[in-house]
């Protein structure tokens, strides 16, 4: 089966490689040639535009940074809708604003193209091993039609409701992740300043009620001073902007989200925007004047 894939960043590249390993023929497009070359080496076929991808493939996946990028790629010049056939399916796996998903879906419907929004959680490690959590909005029959494709890239795929519900669910996820990393950073700075080895604190509490997937993934990075991006600060700023905008629109109070957003904005201004969101710990290190690091064995 032929698939199109547009957007070959940190997440897109390993997702394409997993599709190739599963036996799909994948035609790809990205504005960065080096990204295209990397997946072509793995067996993908390069296209010259999003329009060309849609002409070649009836199922097209997009994995792009934010709402304006998806709108441009789908609805713009040389975009997906210029090349798509009636009956094609667009799977937008980008994390964007729910209202943007609805707008794009309406444009697709006018061209006879079906669409689901299917953002993911898990970052680069889970994109690599094909165990992403996928949250889906759109017609349930379309979800069922592409379920096997989604499960090549994910460990789970859950239908959450109508178009935009996937991205609403992703916003909830991103709020929880950001607040969790901030709480972990705050707690481990407390232990560090109190003279208790963070590694021992981690070993003692990770199996209890405070334990979480976020703690397991991010504490080893923080204590090693490793902020190589699996999910960048700047992308989390984008997601929390969308969460705050959506919250304001529906009347949902998000005071803790707003507080963490200020931390992320401070880190961006300090030049940390391209680092992993575990670098939230750097905000606390700056305030406290010390680093959260494990003792040498």
Best CA proximity match to 214, nearest among 153, 281, 270, 269? 281
Query: From the CB of residue 137, how many other CB atoms can be counted at a distance below 10 Å?
Result: 27
| Long-range contacts at 70-79 (CB < 8 A, ≥ 24 apart) | 70/94, 70/96, 70/100, 70/104, 71/100, 71/103, 71/104, 73/6, 73/7, 74/50, 74/104, 74/107, 74/108, 75/104, 75/107, 78/49, 78/50, 78/51, 79/50, 79/51, 79/54
170 is catalytic: yes
DSSP 232: B
Residue tagged active-site, from 170, 218, 232, 282 = 170
Radius of gyration of the chain (CA): 20
Q: How many CA atoms lie within 13 A of 52 on its CB side?
A: 10
- The residues assigned a catalytic role are 170
């Amino acid at each position: 089966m032929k698939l199109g894939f547009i957007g070959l960043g940190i997440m897109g590249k390993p997702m394409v490689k997993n599709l190739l390993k599963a036996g799909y023929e994948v035609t790809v497009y990205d504005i960065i040639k080096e990204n295209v070359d990397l997946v072509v080496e793995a067996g993908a076929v390069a296209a010259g535009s999003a329009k060309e991808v849609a002409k070649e493939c009836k199922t097209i996946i997009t994995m792009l940074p934010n709402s304006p990028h998806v709108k441009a790629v789908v609805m713009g010049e040389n975009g997906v809708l210029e090349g798509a056939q009636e009956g094609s399916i667009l799977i937008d796996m980008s994390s964007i604003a729910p209202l943007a998903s609805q707008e794009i879906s309406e444009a697709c419907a006018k061209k006879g193209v079906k669409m689901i929004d299917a953002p993911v959680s898990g970052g680069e490690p889970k994109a690599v091993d094909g165990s992403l959590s996928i949250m889906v909005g759109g017609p349930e029959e379309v979800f069922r039609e592409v379920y096997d494709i989604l499960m090549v890239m994910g460990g789970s795929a859950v239908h959450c409701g109508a178009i935009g519900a996937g991205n609403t669910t992703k916003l909830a996820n991103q709020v929880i992740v950001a607040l969790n990393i901030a709480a972990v950073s705050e707690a481990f700075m407390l232990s560090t300043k109190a003279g208790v080895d963070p590694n021992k604190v981690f070993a003692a509490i990770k199996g209890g009620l405070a334990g979480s997937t976020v703690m397991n993934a991010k504490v080893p990075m923080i204590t090693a001073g490793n902020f190589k991006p699996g999910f960048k600060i700047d992308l989390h700023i984008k997601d929390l902007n969308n969460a705050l905008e959506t919250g304001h629109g529906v009347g949902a109070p998000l005071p803790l989200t707003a507080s963490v957003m200020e931390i992320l904005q401070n880190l961006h201004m300090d030049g940390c925007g391209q680092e992993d969101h575990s670098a939230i710990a750097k905000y606390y290190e700056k305030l406290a004047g010390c680093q959260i690091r494990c003792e040498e064995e």
